[in-house]
Amino acid sequence: MITRTRSRREALRLLAATGVAAGAAAGLGAGRAGARSATAASPNASPDPEPRLYGVLEPDKPALASLDLPGEYQDGLRVREVGVGWSSYETAQNTFNNTYLAGVKQRINAYRAAGYGIQLDLGMQYPPAWVFQLPNSHFVNQFGDAYSSTAPGGAGVNAVFSQSMRQAQEQYVSHLFGQLGNDFAGIRLGWGRSGEIGYPHPTFGSRTNCYWAFDAIAQGTATGLPPGVAACPVPGWIPGTPGTQEARLFIDWYLDSLRAYQQWQISTVRAHFAGPLVLLYGSRGVRPGQLSAAIASHLDGTTAAETDSDLQRGMDYARLISSINDKNVAPCTTWIDCIFENPDDTSPDPARWSPVHYFAALAGPLGLQTWSENTGHGSYDSMLLSFQRMQAYNVHALMWAFHAELYNGSYATMAQYAQLIAQYP
């Protein structure tokens, strides 16, 4: 399997684990020198019909006193992400930590008072331990391994195939909106590994090419499927074993089951919130022709979409995006700065395009906005590339990962972010 270095989610975990926020608090202000005096002519390209939105991701939750909220607003930031950890808030089933939520509310109120919109992350990628004590809570691969992860954002709740897991998520969502209201600039969806839509990673322990649809409910030997989700049409068939027709039936069902979970997320949050929903799509996704190649090889793990880990994770974005019929749902690439394998956006072959180019080509004809995030650990060159791609593909929003890195002296700075915001309004 190919392992990307400095992937979006590796950066997120590193930030959470290493305390980058301390450097941000100590160096606050250093990254903004000259930012508010920067001006530049806009590039020659058709503008977005609406002003672009620029914001920051803050998984480290910096101390409010360390932030220059008025200054960053003047620099062009308009949206800040605020996350709620499911495990931190619902510590036992139907038991909630109100002290923890009071801190979340304080942050939300401070940002709103300074004029910012709030993009809320519901924190499904941080499931509480009690969930996994319930029956049928784990994904299971073809080797019989139940998925588990101790990594921050490792997720793993099998709400694709288990109705009881969806009920646990739905009850949490309903309770949280009851506490926080619905005055948000957006709600982040995906709810899988690191917050993105998808099955667990295909490498698990010593196993590779893992497909995560072999629990008893998914295979049809136990009850409990969500409404509209079918059991496996070829129960017992194992990826990599002979059977082209079996491979086709299995993978279509596997991908359609994840699509149903995406659509359920949209309808579940829509019951509480009418504004923008931001669907987090990681990696590059399965490209035209790659699914047929994988089927021809019986899903044995050797084809491009599988060595890239995208097919096993269910990242068929043509299938997922084409299912969105709500114009206020925005596909969001978490890899706008992708340079992996030297993407060629001038190529006639969509398999060669950068993720944002491919997603925008799928979303635009449907009347959907495309949103974006970078990977984290971004240099100025990476930041500039992100802005250039926003301009080229009419991307509506950029949430920069991560706020702390704009001030720690190792990556692109707040001054540079402000300058590019002024250049690409």
CATH of the domain at 382: 3.20.20.80
Total number of domains in the chain: 1
Residue 5, pLDDT score: 35
The rounded distance, in Å, linking the Cα atoms of 261 and 77 is: 32
Assign 400 to helix, strand or coil. strand
Chain-centre distance for alpha carbon 248 = 27
Selection from 422, 414, 421 nearest residue 32 by Cα: 414
The pLDDT value recorded for residue 62 is 92
Give the separation between CA 49 and CA 261, rounded to whole angstroms.
Answer: 31
Q: What is the pLDDT of residue 60?
A: 85
pLDDT of residue 322: 98
DSSP three-state, residue 187: strand
Is the separation of the CB atoms in 119 and 198 below 8 Å?
no
pLDDT of residue 13: 42
Task: Judge contact between 141 and 210, C-beta under 8 A.
Answer: yes
pLDDT-flagged residues of the chain (< 50): 1-30, 33-48
Considering the domain boundaries, does residue 3 fall inside one?
A: no
Q: Is residue 160 part of a domain?
A: yes
Residue 50 pLDDT: 81
Coil vs helix vs strand at 281: strand
Could you give the CA distance from residue 63 to residue 55 in angstroms, rounded to a whole number? Answer: 18
Q: Does the residue 1 lie in any domain?
A: no
Residue at 2 is within a domain:
no
> How far from chain centre, in Å, is Cα 144?
27
Q: What is the 3-state secondary structure (H, E, C) of 180-244?
A: HCCCCCEEEECCCHHHCCCCCCCCECCECCCCCCCCCCCCCCCCCCCCCCCCCCCCCCCCCCCCH
Segments forming the whole domain that contains residue 234: 8-423
Q: What is the pLDDT of residue 130?
A: 97
Would residue 43 count as lying in a domain? yes
204 pairs with which residues across the strands?
207
**Residue 23: predicted pLDDT:** 37
Interval 31-84: pLDDT, tens: 554 444 333 323 333 444 689 999 999 988 999 999 999 999 999 999 999 999
Between CA 217 and CA 161 the distance in angstroms is 7
Q: Is residue 316 part of a domain?
A: yes
The answer to the question of residue 394 being in a domain is yes
- The amino acid sitting at 10 is E
